[in-house]
Structure 1
Amino acid sequence: MLDIGYALSTRFPDPPQTDYRVADVRALRHDLFCGDVYLADTEEDRELSTAWGWVPVLDFAWALCDITEQLDRDPLGSRASRPQHAELDFTESSDRLYFARRFGWVEIEADFSRADEPPLSFAHAELRRESRDFLQDLVADLCDLHEALADNPAIWSLQARFPRV
């Protein structure tokens, strides 16, 4: 089972003068809500996680949802034998997560994991569901922390684009 999580950083707080109601997409994706993220296979007790403290958490969730859609562009869907690939690069770093989908399964590898570590593997449908749930839960958490964020049109659009499955 896939578990996706985050922790906001206390070392890189958001600027106190931020007006979350009108923050633009660039600020929301790259400048605010820094912390760490992880993807975990709870059955195998393995995870890919950052420990840098500066990963834009909302951007990670947003990009993960984009990637699950990108991996589903083949009209054959889960019957497609040809692998479909995607990458998630971390802002301000050369580290990446690599996604490869084949026959409805997605393998996830990271630059920052050990070379002998096998990739995490999940059903594409599970990755899509958990990515969207993670995004929706994260937005709810961030809106609890910063009430004005709930009034941001970019957040409305994001939530509408990636509803829970």
Structure 2
Amino acid sequence: MLDIGYSLSPRFPDPPQTVYREADTHTLRHDLFCGDVYLADTEADREISTAWGWVPVLDFAWALCDIVERIDADPRGSRASVPQRAELDFTESADRMLFERRFGWVDVEADWMRQDEPPLTFNHGKLRREARDFLHDLIADLTDLHEGLADNPVIWDLQARFPRV
């Protein structure tokens, strides 16, 4: 079972003068909603998580949805034997999460994992569904917390680009 989650950091609050209705893509992706994120395999009781407090969680959700689509670029889909790879880099750090799809499975690992620790492995379809659910749930949480965010056209486009599966 795959679980994707987040927590917002009280150490890095959004600037009080932010007009969420008018925030541009760069601001939404890199300057707001800082915290930590995790991907967990609940059956194996293992997770990959950040503990830095400054990860832009909306950017993480957005990038994760992008990556899941990018590693599905081979027209043969789950029959493709050639690995499809992508990485998610964290802007303020040299750390990365690495994704590799072979057949219908995606291995996820991070630079900060121990060398002897195996990657987390998820079904690609499940990862796609959970990533999109995470994005929509996160947007719902953020729009409840921040007045005007639900009226931002960037948020509308993001929700339309990655609808729930």
Fold-level similarity (TM above 0.5): yes
Q: Where in structure 2 are there 5+ consecutive unaligned residues?
A: none
* Structure-2 separation of matches of 1:93 and 1:130: 26
**Residue of structure 2 in register with 1:152 after alignment:** 152
**Residue of structure 2 in register with 1:46 after alignment:** 46
CA shift for structure 1 position 141: 0.1
Write out per-residue CA displacement over residues 82-104 of structure 1, whole angstroms, 9 at most, x where no aligned residue: 00000000011000000000011
CA shift for structure 1 position 24: 0.3
* Structure-2 separation of matches of 1:91 and 1:145: 24
* Structure-2 separation of matches of 1:117 and 1:24: 39
* Structure-2 separation of matches of 1:84 and 1:45: 26
* Structure-1 separation of matches of 2:13 and 2:157: 25
Matches within 5 A, 1:40-119: 40-119=40-119
Write out per-residue CA displacement over residues 21-58 of structure 1, whole angstroms, 9 at most, x where no aligned residue: 00000000000000000000000000000000000000
Count residues with an aligned counterpart: 165
* 1:96 counterpart letter in structure 2: R
* Structure-2 separation of matches of 1:122 and 1:12: 32
* Structure-2 separation of matches of 1:67 and 1:44: 23
**Residue of structure 1 in register with 2:12 after alignment:** 12
* Structure-2 separation of matches of 1:147 and 1:119: 39
Q: Where in structure 1 are there 5+ consecutive unaligned residues?
A: none
Segments of 4+ in structure 1 off by > 4 A?
none
Q: Structure 1 length normalisation: TM-score? A: 0.99
Identical amino acids, percent of aligned pairs: 78
Task: Supply the RMSD in Å over aligned alpha carbons.
Answer: 0.4
CA shift for structure 1 position 113: 1.0
CA shift for structure 1 position 154: 0.1
* Structure-1 separation of matches of 2:149 and 2:36: 20
User: Counterpart of 1:160 in 2: which secondary structure?
Assistant: helix
* Structure-1 separation of matches of 2:82 and 2:34: 36
User: Counterpart of 2:148 in 1: which secondary structure?
Assistant: helix
User: Counterpart of 1:109 in 2: which secondary structure?
Assistant: strand
* Structure-1 separation of matches of 2:115 and 2:31: 31
* 2:70 counterpart letter in structure 1: Q
* Structure-2 separation of matches of 1:112 and 1:25: 28
User: Counterpart of 1:93 in 2: which secondary structure?
Assistant: coil
CA shift for structure 1 position 147: 2.4
* Structure-1 separation of matches of 2:147 and 2:102: 41
